[in-house]
């Protein structure tokens, strides 16, 4: 057996490190990494339903419901009935939600800058490209 560490082990270690550092950085905003992911996707997706948002993040409908209720209480999102399907509520970021996301993005950038300081720009671009290639290939296998 090779003395080399498994790629999956290295990715898991890095994921734990990123999550821990990001949780620490976002704590001041009273937001979790999962909630940050939801805010980020809401900024990119055109008024998704809660089911679409849950699928995009990879959480259960129950988990996203709790997140949505938290966001509504904090006035970070608004929900409107879909014109096509009256039972579906479309979710959008409010101005408060966009402001919070911008603050979180700044912290996330600081965390990434610290964690990946050992890599130069080209190496970081290569890492991103490699990770995206793996993620795309896995998604293609699922479809």
DSSP notation for 107-133: HHHHHHHHHTTTS-HHHHHHHHHHHHH
Query: Taking the chain, what is the end-to-end CA distance rounded to the nearest angstrom?
Result: 34
| Burial class of residue 54, CB neighbours in 10 A (0-12, 13-18, 19+) | buried
**SS3 of 56, please?**
helix
Q: What is the pLDDT of residue 70?
A: 96
Query: Which two three-digit tokens encode residue 94?
Result: 């409010």
Question: Which sequence spans correspond to the domains of the chain?
Answer: 7-142
What are the strands, taking DSSP E only, across the chain?
77-81, 89-93
Residue 141 confidence (pLDDT) = 53
pLDDT of residue 115: 97
Token output for 30:
């009273």
Lowest mean pLDDT among 24-38, 51-65, 128-142: 128-142
Q: What mean pLDDT do residues 60-69 have?
A: 92
Helices 50-57 and 33-44 sit at what angle, rounded to 10 degrees? 120
Q: Is the pLDDT of residue 143 over 50?
A: no
CA distances from 84 to 66, 89, 103 (A): 25, 10, 34
> Considering the domain 7-142 in this protein, what is its CATH number?
1.10.10.10
* Cα angle 15-18-19, degrees, rounded to a multiple of 5: 85
- Tell me the pLDDT tens digit for each residue of 111-136: 999 999 999 999 999 999 999 999 89
What count of other Cβ atoms lies within 10 Å of the Cβ of residue 22?
Answer: 21
């Amino acid at each position: 057996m090779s003395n080399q560490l498994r790629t999956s082990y290295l990715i898991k270690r890095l994921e734990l490190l990123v999550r821990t550092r990001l949780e620490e950085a976002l704590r001041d905003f009273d937001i979790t990494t999962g909630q940050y992911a939801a805010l980020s996707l809401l900024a990119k997706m055109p008024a998704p339903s809660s089911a679409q948002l849950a699928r995009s993040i990879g959480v259960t409908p129950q988990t996203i419901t709790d997140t949505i209720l938290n966001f509504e209480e904090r006035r970070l999102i608004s929900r409107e009935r879909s014109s096509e399907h009256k039972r579906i509520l479309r979710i959008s970021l409010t101005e408060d939600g966009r402001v919070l996301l911008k603050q979180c993005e700044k912290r996330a950038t600081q965390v990434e800058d610290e964690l990946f300081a050992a890599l130069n720009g080209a190496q970081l671009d290569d890492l991103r490209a490699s990770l995206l290639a793996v993620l795309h290939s896995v998604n293609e296998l699922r479809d």
